[in-house]
Amino acid sequence: MTIELIIGKYNYWIYISLMMIGFYAMIAKKNLVKKLIGMNIFQTSIILFFISIGSKKGATIPIVEEGVKTIQANQYINPLPHVLMLTAIVVMVSTFGVALALLLLIYRKYHTLEEDEILNLRR
Amino acid sequence: MEGTISIKPLLALGTSALAALLILLTGERRKNLREGWTLLASVIKFSIVASMIPAILQGKTLEWTLVELFPGVSFQFRVDSFGLFFATLASCLWIATSIYSIGYMRGLQSASQTRFFFCFALALHGALGIAFAGNLLTLFIFYEILTVSTFPLVAHKETEEAISGGRKYLAYLLTGATLIILAMGFTYTLSGNLNFKAGGFLKGHGTDPLLILIFFVFIIGFGTKAALMPLHEWLPTAMVAPTPVSALLHAVAVVKAGVFCVLRVILYVFGPQLLAELNLWLLLAYMASFTILVSGMFALAQDHLKRRLAFSTINNLAIIILGASLLSPSGITGSIFHIAAHGFMKITLFFVAGAIYVKTHKEKVNELDGIGKAMPVTMASFAIAALGISGIPPMAGFISKWYLCLGSLEAKEILFLFVLLGSALLDIAYFVPIIYHSFFKKPTGDPFPQVDEASLWMVAPIAICAIGSIVLGLFPNAIFHFFEIATLSAKNVLGVP
Amino acid sequence: MSHLPFPILIIVVPLISAFLMILLGWLRKSLCYLLLIFVLGITTLSSFMILEEVLWKGSIHYRLGGWLPPWGIEYVIDPLNGFVLLIVSTISLIIGITSKPMVEREFPERAIYFYCLYLLQITGLLGIVITGDLFNLYVFLEIASLAGYALIAIGEEGAPFASFNYMIYGTIGACFYLLGVGYLYIESGSLNMADLTKLLPGLLSSKVTLIAFAFFSVGIAIKMALFPLHVWLPDAYTYAPSTVSTLVAPLTTKVGAYVMIRVMVNVFPPTFFTETLPAALLLRWMAGLGILFGCLFALAQKDLKRMLGYVLIAEIGYIAMGIGFGNRNGLTGAILHIMNDGLMMACLFLFVGAITLKGWPRKIDQLQGLHQTMPLTSAAFVLSGLSVIGVPPTCGFFSKWYLVLGAIDAKQWLSAAILLASSLCNAILFFRVIEKAYFGKAGNEQRIERPILKRDEAPLIVLIPLWVLTLGVISLGLFSGTIISNIIHLTIPASF
């Protein structure tokens, strides 16, 4: 039962562990770059989650071949989550870009990227 | 009871709002013009209010609705006899106060006079709005305008003492106001209505314990403004304000507005019947009696003249509430009439205290020995008003106290008769020594110069108000039919034809 | 009226203009401001038209690219988002007008980028409000947030760091929201809000729906800075440039609140979070604690802008509490408060901007004599402060009134007590400032020697919008009855 739960839904477990790793890094790490990496892992885990919920066993890419008359839904992967993730990736990349720019600004100002050092400097 | 639609209440309110704006725009540079606006507005406002008297005496009510605020409750003015009574008093005494405050503020060369006159006009605006409000919410809106606009007046001197007095004032009054919101919320949820109705509209709604709770939240809320003990603490502290403000606060606008609101709640929200059923009137009467006696004793102990007057005010406000809570025709009549009688007399007393301060910078009771020789008119007025408050004929205070005593007999509660008599004795005990010392004792320090009255701007209002309180006592209907209106309101409330 | 596609114009015009702005900036820098005002004018006008049409003819459905829902993205405007749309676009127009002198004073060299980001931010906010698709909402949420991060980072010394923190929190919030979308999609196979409203009542018992709801709630709560997920807000809004905090503070959190109402009350059946889940209870607690916490922390602040930041957290608490009551009056109060709080906060932050513009410090105890040099500006502050306290007839009173009625209806006595206590706390907060600005230093003996300061008002381009907002604060209070019966009552689902 438990094994079935773990193996049968392995995609969820993977995404959850990735997400927790990312979450941990975002909250607990003192270095801002590490926080950012954590954020990236966090976002990626969500992308994986979406991708995995769209896939089906033994199904193919959702392109209808010529000459096929009747379309059976279970033969094709659900394309919608994938499409959504394309957009989400764009969003995430831009977040990443803005974040890097911010880090650059912070580094120029304080000459460090350690959170506690910055807080000390600002006090 | 249907109302006649009339724009007069709106005009009267608009006058003071416009005056406030004009005062602000005129500013410090053109003093005469600024004070001109104040005087002009007070006269116009008073005449508009006075022009409503005949209609009210015929038993009509005047209405003007602006916008609907939420279902069943509009921003509405509705002038009935009780509201008009208060409005007449407030606007009539505003004239006196504005003349006086010109003399006072110039005499002291006080700073920020524009702010002073602006807030003053705004406070009167609030008081008049309270008088004309047709429902609890409109009343509350103006109640808050009054509260907020009085704060700069209390803190006017900008000294540490003044500012902390202002803070205390706000702390008490805003706490009271939030309680009122709660009580209004309950009232609205129970009855879906906030419109005043002579004889009350809450009857038949809700359970008894809930009604009792609402009643007490209301009384505590409005009681802070009416300085019902133990919620009175802000009032003596607020005495740091310039004297015209104290006069305004204590004789006309603020505390009287508080009492007015309490009476509105007793008579127009709950209604005599409901209060009698729930036996709440007795409780309220006990609370008021407690305040009457204790504040009288406190007043005896005060050395500062204005503080003594403040406790006397607390005392008299409680008398008004006591009268109304007796729920008998004479009691209510006397209580309403006492609003006016006390207004005239107390404003005289405060004016006198201010005149003395401007002239001699003396504020303590024991420094006033022999001052009667120097300022005969002023001190004579003081004597008239003080004796009037103690209930000695022929001043106005006698009439109201007489009716209040009758009221307590009608309610078959002898105890309250003794409370009233006791308070009259206390009044004499704390006023007569001042009169005696000022006229018949030799000054302790430097002798006063011969006759040296304050400027005419100040003496005239003092004398007029003092004469007013005598006239009101001899012919209660001579000035603006005060007595008739008071009886009319009592009849309306009790449903007696 | 419908020959112009307003629903799409309102998004596309600012989006495209944002990029045009950069081009225009290369050509003629001075025209950028005009373009900004022009675009914001168009959005305000179109949102006005949209609201009018919605009120007369019922909801508008606009299908992007002609795809039918639930497959395509659909913009749906009903009275609720029509109303919020108008609030967002009007406030952004007013703030946009005032931006010029502040931008010139604080960062003249980056004006073009600022205007570009400003438009992107507005695109995002309007998009969040107008869209009828949950995933599309996520995208707009991120557009708004990204523009917000960048805008905040322009600010003073601590700004980039504060902005980075905001970004970490904001991303967590957005990702949680996205997860919620994912789970809801697994369960129902739809992303369209209207479609979900039909599908969800049958799926409520499923655990997946529960999880989706939980992710949604947490994600949105972070975005709207609901206690205890508010940590990013005070720093970010304090260090942001004044014109940015004036824009972001009133709008972003309010739009977050709108999303919360939309998801909890419209997408999910309203009974779901009041009866099936103890979510309403939790929401009330968070809101109540948030109100108290916001007020108390605001009391401890010496910096005016930071104080306003904490006041904002308390105000968000009001809205959340209104939703949490789960009854008609509470929700009315919440929706009304979205408008009122937007106005009040815009007014207050604009006041801070105006005094900063004239070189006044933001420290509360250094404001003596402010009313002499800037009488009109400080009068506006007093009026909007009174509104936050809840003094009638300003609008703040009316939303508080409905919230109190909601608390009484829901028999939540503790919440009612918190609501009332907080208005006292706000009174202390604002009168502390007013006292300093109007009465000088307490106990100062040198009062007479205090030099009569010369009048030095904020420029008219700031002053007039400030007073427009202030008059709005007063008049919308008096007309709240009309607004409620004509608009807000239409937005509340019938089951309430």
Alpha helices of C390-459 — where are they, by DSSP H?
A: 395-409, 413-439
* Residue of chain C nearest A87, judged by CA positions: C139
Contact of C376 with chain B, judged by CB distance below 8 Å, is answered with: no
Q: Which of A43, A46, A102 is the closest to C167 by Cβ? A: A102
Contact at CB, A109 and C160, closer than 8 angstroms: yes
* Residue of chain A nearest C159, judged by CA positions: A106
Report how many helices (DSSP H) and strands (DSSP E) chain A contains, helices first. Answer: 5, 0
Distance between CA atoms of B148 and C391, rounded to whole angstroms?
9
Question: Dihedrals φ, ψ of B195, to 5°?
Answer: -75, 135
Evaluated on CA atoms B207, B209, B215, B221, the torsion sign reads: negative
What's the pLDDT score for residue C173? 92
From the CA of C397, how many Å to the nearest CA of chain B? 9
Q: Which of residues 253-282 of B touch C (CB under 8 A)?
A: none
Best residue in A16, A91, A119 for a mutation probing chain C (most C CBs within 10 Å)? A91
On chain C, the residues whose CB falls within 8 A of the CB of B205 are none
Q: Are strands B62-70 and C74-77 parallel, antiparallel or unpaired?
A: unpaired
Q: How many degrees, rounded to 5, is the angle at CA B421 between CA B416 and CA B423?
A: 95
**Could you give all domains of chain A from N- to C-terminal order, each with its CATH number?**
2-57+74-122 (1.10.287.3510)
Contact of A26 with chain C, judged by CB distance below 8 Å, is answered with: yes
Contact of C139 with chain A, judged by CB distance below 8 Å, is answered with: yes
User: A98 near C150, Cβ under 8 Å?
Assistant: yes
Closest of B134, B295, B156 to residue B226, by C-alpha: B295
Distance between CA atoms of B127 and B299, rounded to whole angstroms?
27
From the CA of B368, how many Å to the nearest CA of chain C? 29
On chain C, the residues whose CB falls within 8 A of the CB of A32 are 164
What's the pLDDT score for residue C235? 87
Best residue in C439, C448, C480 for a mutation probing chain B (most B CBs within 10 Å)? C439
Instruction: Assess whether pLDDT exceeds 90 at residue C90.
Output: yes
What's the pLDDT score for residue B346? 87
What's the pLDDT score for residue C145? 92
Instruction: Assess whether pLDDT exceeds 50 at residue C1.
Output: no
Instruction: Assess whether pLDDT exceeds 60 at residue C219.
Output: yes
Contact of A100 with chain C, judged by CB distance below 8 Å, is answered with: no
On chain A, the residues whose CB falls within 8 A of the CB of C157 are 109, 122
User: B87 near B12, Cβ under 8 Å?
Assistant: yes
Q: What is the mean pLDDT of residues C80-84?
A: 89
On chain C, the residues whose CB falls within 8 A of the CB of B189 are 405, 408-409
Q: What is the mean pLDDT of residues B455-466?
A: 84
On chain A, the residues whose CB falls within 8 A of the CB of C150 are 98, 101
Contact at CB, A122 and C158, closer than 8 angstroms: yes
Among B33-42, B242-251, C422-431, name the one with the lowest average pLDDT: B242-251
From the CA of C230, how many Å to the nearest CA of chain A? 15
* Residue of chain C nearest A97, judged by CA positions: C146
More confident position, C64 or B451: C64
Report, in angstroms and rounded to the nearest whole number, the Rg of chain C calculated over CA atoms: 22
Report, in angstroms and rounded to the nearest whole number, the Rg of chain B calculated over CA atoms: 21
What's the pLDDT score for residue C443? 40
Q: Which of C392, C405, C479 is the closest to B185 by Cβ? A: C405
Q: Which of C393, C443, C447 is the closest to B141 by Cβ? A: C393
What's the pLDDT score for residue C460? 85
Closest of B429, B423, B433 to residue B401, by C-alpha: B423
Confidence of residue C290 (pLDDT cuts 50, 70, 90): very high
For residue A64, the 8-state DSSP code is P
Contact at CB, C405 and B160, closer than 8 angstroms: no
pLDDT (tens digit per residue) in B376-407: 888 888 888 888 888 887 788 888 888 888 88
Among B51-65, C96-110, C320-334, C420-434, name the one with the lowest average pLDDT: B51-65
Which of B18-22, B360-364, C492-496 is predicted most confidently? B18-22
Contact at CB, C168 and A35, closer than 8 angstroms: yes
What's the pLDDT score for residue B233? 83
Q: Whole-number mean pLDDT of chain B?
A: 83
Instruction: Assess whether pLDDT exceeds 70 at residue B110.
Output: no
On chain C, the residues whose CB falls within 8 A of the CB of B115 are 438
Tokens of B93: 């005494």
From the CA of A113, how many Å to the nearest CA of chain C? 10
The subunits that touch chain B, with at least 3 C-beta pairs less than 8 Å apart, are: C
User: C489 near C321, Cβ under 8 Å?
Assistant: no
| pLDDT above 70 coverage of chain B, percent | 96
* Residue of chain C nearest B168, judged by CA positions: C428
On chain C, the residues whose CB falls within 8 A of the CB of A39 are 168, 171
Contact at CB, A98 and C167, closer than 8 angstroms: yes
pLDDT (tens digit per residue) in C143-178: 999 999 999 988 878 888 889 999 999 999 999 999
Q: Which of C404, C431, C482 is the closest to B181 by Cβ? A: C404
Contact at CB, A102 and C179, closer than 8 angstroms: no
Q: Which of residues 167-186 of C touch A (CB under 8 A)?
A: 167-168, 171-172, 175, 178-179, 182, 185-186
Token pair 């196979």 in the structure block, residue = C189
Q: What share of chain A is helix, strand, coil (3-state, %, to 5)?
A: 75, 5, 20
What's the pLDDT score for residue C446? 42
Q: What is the mean pLDDT of residues C189-196?
A: 85
From the CA of C193, how many Å to the nearest CA of chain A? 16
Contact at CB, A94 and C146, closer than 8 angstroms: yes
Which of B321-325, C38-42, C228-232 is predicted most confidently? C38-42
Q: What is the mean pLDDT of residues C220-233?
A: 88
Contact at CB, C438 and B75, closer than 8 angstroms: no
For residue C333, the 8-state DSSP code is H
Q: Whole-number mean pLDDT of chain C?
A: 86
Beta bridge partners of B135: B195
What's the pLDDT score for residue B470? 86
Q: Which of residues 418-437 of C touch B (CB under 8 A)?
A: 420-421, 423-424, 427, 431, 435
* Residue of chain A nearest C180, judged by CA positions: A46
From the CA of B166, how many Å to the nearest CA of chain C? 10
ipTM of the complex: 0.92
What's the pLDDT score for residue C444? 44
Instruction: Assess whether pLDDT exceeds 90 at residue B231.
Output: no
User: Could you count the other beta carbons within 10 Å of the beta carbon of residue B208?
Assistant: 12
Q: Is C35 helix (H, G, I), strand (E, B) or coil?
A: helix
Q: Is C190 helix (H, G, I), strand (E, B) or coil?
A: coil
Q: Which of C420, C431, C447 is the closest to B182 by Cβ? A: C420
Contact at CB, C427 and B174, closer than 8 angstroms: yes
Contact at CB, C168 and A81, closer than 8 angstroms: no
Q: Give pLDDT tens digits along chain A (123 positions).
A: 678 777 777 888 888 899 999 999 988 888 999 999 999 999 999 999 888 887 777 777 777 777 777 777 777 888 888 888 898 999 999 999 999 999 998 888 888 888 888 888 877
More confident position, C121 or B9: C121
Written as one letter, the residue type at A28 is: A
Q: What is the mean pLDDT of residues B150-176?
A: 85
Distance between CA atoms of B9 and B63, rounded to whole angstroms?
8
Q: What is the mean pLDDT of residues B96-123?
A: 79
User: C398 near C423, Cβ under 8 Å?
Assistant: no
Distance between CA atoms of C345 and C384, rounded to whole angstroms?
8
**Helix B8-26 to helix B31-51 angle, to the nearest 10 degrees?**
180
pLDDT (tens digit per residue) in C439-486: 765 444 444 444 556 777 788 888 899 999 999 998 888 888 888 888
Contact at CB, A49 and C146, closer than 8 angstroms: no
Instruction: Assess whether pLDDT exceeds 90 at residue B49.
Output: no
Written as one letter, the residue type at C104 is: E
Distance between CA atoms of A14 and A19, rounded to whole angstroms?
8
Contact at CB, C420 and B152, closer than 8 angstroms: no
Distance between CA atoms of C312 and B349, rounded to whole angstroms?
48
Among B200-204, C38-42, C75-79, name the one with the lowest average pLDDT: B200-204
Q: Please state the domain extents for chain B.
A: 279-497
More confident position, C180 or B7: C180
What's the pLDDT score for residue A1? 64
Beta bridge partners of B63: B5, B78
Contact at CB, C405 and B188, closer than 8 angstroms: yes
